[in-house]
Homo-oligomer: A and B are copies of this chain.
Amino acid sequence: MSGNTIGHLFTVTSFGESHGTAIGCVVDGCPPGLELAESDIQPDLDRRRPGTSRHVTQRQESDRVEILSGVFEGRTTGTPIALLIRNEDARSKDYADIARTFRPGHADYTYWHKYGVRDPRGGGRSSARLTAAVVAAAAIARKWLAAQYGTVVRGRMSQLGDIVVPLTDWAEVQRNAFFAADAAVVPRLEALMDSLRRAGDSCGARIDVVADPVPVGLGEPLFDKLDADIAHAMMGINAVKGVEIGAGFACVTQKGSEHGDELTPGGFVGNQAGGVLGGISTGQPVTVSIAVKPTSSIRIERRSIDLDGAPTVVQTQGRHDPCVGIRATPIAEAMLLLVLMDHALRHRAQCADVRVATPRIAGAGG
């Protein structure tokens, strides 16, 4: 398949541009018989939606999803599920003045040289808006994984610029605009955002995502290890520059006696592995972190070149997120859901008949 499809058995084929007619995707391979309605998908879309707080882009989109196919009388039929989201707030005039320049940190220059096309309408295909359709698709995976294994996937912002956000209470994540699992830190986050906005600058963020419980055995030996496919999915999110599983880069300075999670009849002792050993899930929580770069569109003047290669200056005026990382949380959840769903189907295709007497130990470490 070409580049706009993800997954092997549970596949999502994405289409659309930021300011075109519509965005959407086709979800293929979903098991039949799953209860599904637009109302199952909309909540995840709403979490990702722009314009919900003053800290994210003020673009106005209701992001209403329409199921075009694959569902009959409230249940999936096993045939492709097409999801459509019409673009509403497509004010392309904001972008007319930048049509002849390449914005630093954006895909303008690369798209131009690859495709010979310069879509001046706010990023076109490279816009983070495209992730809305992915979030919609992942809501289906979320429902199926929950029904099948009780799997819950949830994410949180764990760092905004220099501010580390502690994990105090998962329930807090739904109560603030930052997906922060700690109420006390929110005023500091707001102050940072306000100061960046005044300075016309932006900052990066770190997002943590956890899936739990995850059945043991998901993943392929090589090359489609579970963690490899997670890394592919996560690095494919707009603006992501780094991916960690479990201990991540901290493992560089760890000792082997510190990193390797011991096994006991009561479960693994610790989860440095992040729930994956040899590319296959251990049954522990799968833990992933990603680094999201600072928003590239800022008010500060930046040097660039124009279509003729001549020097120019770019200064963004349009509506943009001060930190694109804020809304990355539901997107990162979505990506993890898609990978888990795909591997769950792959696993049962090959290994449905495997039975071992060894008890499965508790997933989480003590």
Contact = CB atoms under 8 A, between A and B. Distances in A.
Contact of A311 (B7, B264, B298): B264
Contact of A125 (B12, B20, B221): B221
Interface in A200-223: 201-206, 216-223
A43 interface: no
A245 B254 contact: no
A14 B222 contact: yes
Closest 6 CB pairs of A and B: A107-B278, A3-B220, A105-B260, A202-B256, A232-B232, A349-B349
Contacts of A261: 104-105
A29 B1 CA distance: 9
Nearest to A130: B222
A149 interface: no
Residue with the highest number of chain B CB atoms closer than 10 Å, among A236, A345, A351: A236
Interface string A257-291: 11111111100010011101111111100000001
A231 B235 contact: yes
Interface residues of A, number: 166
B356 A310 contact: no
Given A109-B277, A123-B278, A241-B246, 13 more contacts: A1-B1, A32-B117, A104-B262, A106-B278, A116-B354, A116-B356, A130-B222, A202-B255, A204-B253, A228-B231, A250-B291, A263-B303, A265-B310
B5 A9 contact: no
Nearest to A158: B252
B263 A109 contact: yes
A279 B112 contact: no
Contacts of A357: 307-308
A337 interface: no
A151 interface: no
Contacts of A329: none
A251 interface: yes
Nearest to A325: B252
A220 to B, nearest CB: 2
Nearest to A79: B125
A292 interface: yes
A298 B260 CA distance: 10
A345 to B, nearest CB: 4
A41 interface: no
B243 A110 contact: no
Interface in A97-155: 102, 104-107, 109-117, 119, 123-126, 130
A264 B303 contact: yes
A361 interface: yes
Interface stretch (A53-61, A68-76, A178-186): A68-76
B249 A291 contact: yes
Contact of A203 (B254, B277, B310): B254
